[in-house]
Structure 1
């Protein structure tokens, strides 16, 4: 054998070391790929959160009312009679307008349209008006009381609102049917208020009439409360104060109002999302005062141009997303992870371990944020809604105002959001050499000078309306089991038995967050248990609520009637 030279030996050794290094690198890559892409398994040593899962719930007398409930859901004659009531309610134009007076007492003629609506309610629901006691609160608010036989039981409070969002005259030609015609084609009901939320008001009244017809006499008092300016933030709504004066604070067994998400498909699972909390709310006015002049000799940046820069600054500076146990949305996704029959294993892991694993938390936030309709549940929003400025095409604007609306995440608060907008304004004020005065939300009437006024002009920032995020309704107890269990029963056994009868799937009823705000903001003192949920098929946003061609799938309206009927029976059997 030929003896190797030292040079040959080291050359061969070098080749071997290079090969080993290469193999080692390949192994590292394989292990990395396996680590990041393998199906994640759930660890056993961490106590993960639990979904407040419920079984289907029926009242004890369900069998005796089963035929009637099936009639409400399925009978074509009943359907058409019910549709007629909805049509007539839509034909009563009860639009709310921003410029209406807050002083109702001295401006009764401005609200005369509600008297027309009230007459229609009396005509369509004679039994209800004969049986329940009606109180007209602040003239046009409606509070109906169906007195129970046991005064020791806390009343059940059902809510909706009479008013609807107004129509833009410029959009009329885009409506399939006139907005106040109330057109029903056998499947869909079209018209303003069909989804927000005369369907809830009319459905509750229809349920009450059916209960009266079968001879039901409640043990627990039932209260119906219908405000008439919910679309104007409810400043004229004196119903809650009236009810509190009559019954006291924390006097209601539970409160049900519009809100939540009727049915939604998430990750191939059908979910009914009950609003157990609401985001906060703030309206902000931002204005510029600046020297004007003739438009033939304009400044480099007019007040409108500077405001345009601010708009871009605000919209580009988005609020962060959050996925924490402070928000009912967290339990919505925990319920999805625990109950979905075919959820992706990685998604399930990321949901359940999001509170212990930063990467998992980031992944689930990205998942929720990828869909516009779900994204708003986990972040503060900002909507730039109104801008005014300038009076003449050949005169430079001396005053420009922007108004924006923000809905505040539960992990944040009014002050946090407001300071973000102030920071945005300060950035633009410095860029264009303007002053900045700020009136803070909880310091009304006193301006704070952030930047002194200049020869160029001054920004002013003030809040117009503020509401902190709501208290959160408890879940997992008997009250939740009745509400959520009734929801499952209506959908799975009455509305869609052909889907769920022989299936492992279920309608997953979960807590959730109201991304809009309802009249319940004025009822927080009356109960800790506020369920913001309108049974039905379509979420109100999907049904063009506040938009062109508002509509509902009429099956959903019938489900409201059946749910209200059965929920009242179930609650009436409970003791406090």
Structure 2
């Protein structure tokens, strides 16, 4: 027995050493994770101060009377009543509605149309120029668009009020375009009108570009306006477009409002998949019909999501600082370890999940027109929103590999755009926006976080004219109202709309 013990004892020692070093390794790993997590806070770069009589124009603190607020609200209501629906490749579509809307703007804001120089681009695109007092300063550019998406007949019965009635009820302005994007366009005009009345003279020149076909790619609006500006050699200190907003009750575990500024946006691509064969009677089908071939292709693509990239989600969580849940901060601060399991630890919020990868969304399917005829041609449209780091060509190549079927052809459907450049959060433009938000809300502690735009905006067409391009509309949205974007019962709160105008006024006063 003693001899056996002497033999076995040396074998136990290496095991205990291994356990010891494993425990030390785990402790070191935990220490590194915790240190990284507690250091994961965005540096404060915005100069905070209380505005005083000597450093801010009276416009910045201008408040409207109850009577003026009613008039402002009614003007947005009237704007919604023009069904300015854009149609891809049909610039003349709904021409009367666009013409009526422009005439309404001229009648509602005569001082703006008389005081600023106006260039009309392809009839319905409007480019205003407000000359600054200091020509050595680079101008800024503010963007909005007048067109809206259609309301399908199948959805109209689901609306509480007719989508183009502009009904004002229970503190909300209802209708298509209330959020996207007439509240922004009208808000800018309201702020600009007040600025002119208050005799504001900006130091730098300010341009306002209102496109008429943002929802279908911007060919006749933003793209043409951007070309016009480029031909004149005009570049900008920064650009601000629609997009991000102030959230209320939408960020997990944060009850207070959070202001999101979009420093860039994902790319846009739709691919059309097509399969062809001879049409025939459904009683004698081939092994795989064209409809089945397309269905298989779509299923293969959806079953293989793009890899996770937490770079841009991390900048958002970092901006939240200590308000973000500890687990999320730990994941983002240690992406090298947790990125492979991000899908399991990040909340299943569509907007947040969409910042993590290039997304895949089959949106249109077509086969036979009747149920007992084999389709000679079947097709599907898949929309991709491309995360920076991926590209149009990468998406096409990946799609072709996943389908792995030479009988399915792939082509780009409609307009496509690469992901935008990501603008700095330490730039002058971002600082001005952040400070304007804090002062408008009179809240020096509100969290302001950069969040990449998951939707497409006109800003991408102007990217070559500036190093700083941001997306923010100044509206406060809740889980209820945010679903109105391109959805049913689009609406905006009256108080939120008035607050966004105050933000625009504050911003104008700083230029």
The TM-score normalised by the length of structure 2 is: 0.88
After TM superposition, the structure 1 = structure 2 runs for residues 72-151 of structure 1, keeping only pairs within 5 Å, are 72=64, 75-98=65-88, 100-101=89-90, 104=91, 107=92, 111-151=95-135
Match of 1:71 in 2: 63
Other structure's SS at 1:265 match: coil
Match of 2:220 in 1: 236
Other structure's SS at 1:510 match: strand
Q: Identify the range of structure 1 (398-407 vs 293-302) with the bigger mean alpha-carbon deviation.
A: 293-302
RMSD: 3.5
Q: Distance in 1 between matches of 2:280 and 2:328?
A: 60
1:316 aligns with 2:303: yes
**What's the offset of the Cα at 1:233?**
0.7
In the superposition, relative to structure 1, how do residues 311 and 347 fare at CA in structure 2: closer, same or farther (>3 Å)? closer
**What's the offset of the Cα at 1:361?**
3.9
Match of 1:549 in 2: 489
- Map Cα deviations across residues 228-262 of structure 1 (whole Å, 9 max, x no partner): 0001011112111122223x15x212111001243
User: Which of 389, 406, 411 in structure 2 is aligned with 1:462?
Assistant: 411
Other structure's SS at 1:377 match: coil
After TM superposition, the structure 1 = structure 2 runs for residues 36-75 of structure 1, keeping only pairs within 5 Å, are 41-42=34-35, 50-51=42-43, 53-56=45-48, 61=53, 69=61, 71-72=63-64, 75=65
Q: Distance in 1 between matches of 2:73 and 2:342?
A: 42
Match of 1:178 in 2: 162
Asked if the contact 1:92/1:116 (under 8 Å) is kept, the reply is yes
- Map Cα deviations across residues 304-358 of structure 1 (whole Å, 9 max, x no partner): 122222222121111111013xx4x432222223xx3x5444543433343xxx2
Q: How many residues align?
A: 504
User: Which of 373, 376, 392 in structure 2 is aligned with 1:414?
Assistant: 392
Asked if the contact 1:543/1:551 (under 8 Å) is kept, the reply is no
Other structure's SS at 1:159 match: strand
Asked if the contact 2:118/2:128 (under 8 Å) is kept, the reply is yes
Q: Distance in 2 between matches of 1:258 and 1:397?
A: 42
The TM-score normalised by the length of structure 1 is: 0.78
Q: Distance in 2 between matches of 1:241 and 1:259?
A: 22
In the superposition, relative to structure 1, how do residues 348 and 401 fare at CA in structure 2: closer, same or farther (>3 Å)? closer
User: Which of 122, 138, 143 in structure 2 is aligned with 1:159?
Assistant: 143
After TM superposition, the structure 1 = structure 2 runs for residues 24-35 of structure 1, keeping only pairs within 5 Å, are none
Match of 2:456 in 1: 517
Match of 2:440 in 1: 490
**What's the offset of the Cα at 1:160?**
0.3
Other structure's SS at 1:460 match: strand
1:168 aligns with 2:152: yes
**What's the offset of the Cα at 1:363?**
5.7
Asked if the contact 2:80/2:177 (under 8 Å) is kept, the reply is yes
Q: Distance in 2 between matches of 1:57 and 1:111?
A: 48
Match of 1:574 in 2: none
1:423 aligns with 2:401: yes
1:564 aligns with 2:504: yes
Other structure's SS at 1:301 match: coil
In the superposition, relative to structure 1, how do residues 231 and 39 fare at CA in structure 2: closer, same or farther (>3 Å)? same
1:224 aligns with 2:163: no
Other structure's SS at 1:406 match: strand
- Map Cα deviations across residues 25-51 of structure 1 (whole Å, 9 max, x no partner): 99999999988989953169x997854
- Residue ranges of structure 1 left out of the alignment (5+ in a row): 1-5, 430-435, 437-457, 501-505, 572-576
Q: Distance in 1 between matches of 2:118 and 2:124?
A: 11
- Residue ranges of structure 2 left out of the alignment (5+ in a row): none
- Map Cα deviations across residues 490-543 of structure 1 (whole Å, 9 max, x no partner): 12x1xxx6xx7xxxxx22212221111111121112111111111111179824
Match of 2:333 in 1: 352
In the superposition, relative to structure 1, how do residues 33 and 232 fare at CA in structure 2: closer, same or farther (>3 Å)? same
Match of 2:262 in 1: 275
In the superposition, relative to structure 1, how do residues 113 and 347 fare at CA in structure 2: closer, same or farther (>3 Å)? closer
Q: Distance in 2 between matches of 1:512 and 1:51?
A: 16
Other structure's SS at 2:142 match: strand
Other structure's SS at 2:263 match: strand
Q: Distance in 2 between matches of 1:242 and 1:376?
A: 34
User: Which of 306, 317, 338 in structure 1 is aligned with 2:293?
Assistant: 306
User: Which of 377, 380, 394 in structure 1 is aligned with 2:372?
Assistant: 394
1:265 aligns with 2:255: no
Q: Distance in 1 between matches of 2:120 and 2:152?
A: 30
After TM superposition, the structure 1 = structure 2 runs for residues 431-470 of structure 1, keeping only pairs within 5 Å, are 436=406, 458-464=407-413, 465-470=415-420
**What's the offset of the Cα at 1:148?**
1.9
Q: Distance in 2 between matches of 1:206 and 1:302?
A: 57
Match of 2:278 in 1: 291
Match of 2:350 in 1: 372
Q: Distance in 2 between matches of 1:369 and 1:461?
A: 34
Match of 1:442 in 2: none
Q: Distance in 2 between matches of 1:569 and 1:67?
A: 6
Asked if the contact 1:165/1:231 (under 8 Å) is kept, the reply is yes
Q: Distance in 2 between matches of 1:336 and 1:566?
A: 24
Asked if the contact 1:59/1:569 (under 8 Å) is kept, the reply is no
Match of 1:454 in 2: none
**What's the offset of the Cα at 1:158?**
0.9
Q: Distance in 1 between matches of 2:34 and 2:218?
A: 49
**What's the offset of the Cα at 1:277?**
1.0
Asked if the contact 1:58/1:566 (under 8 Å) is kept, the reply is no
Asked if the contact 1:280/1:469 (under 8 Å) is kept, the reply is yes
In the superposition, relative to structure 1, how do residues 332 and 111 fare at CA in structure 2: closer, same or farther (>3 Å)? same
Match of 2:181 in 1: 197
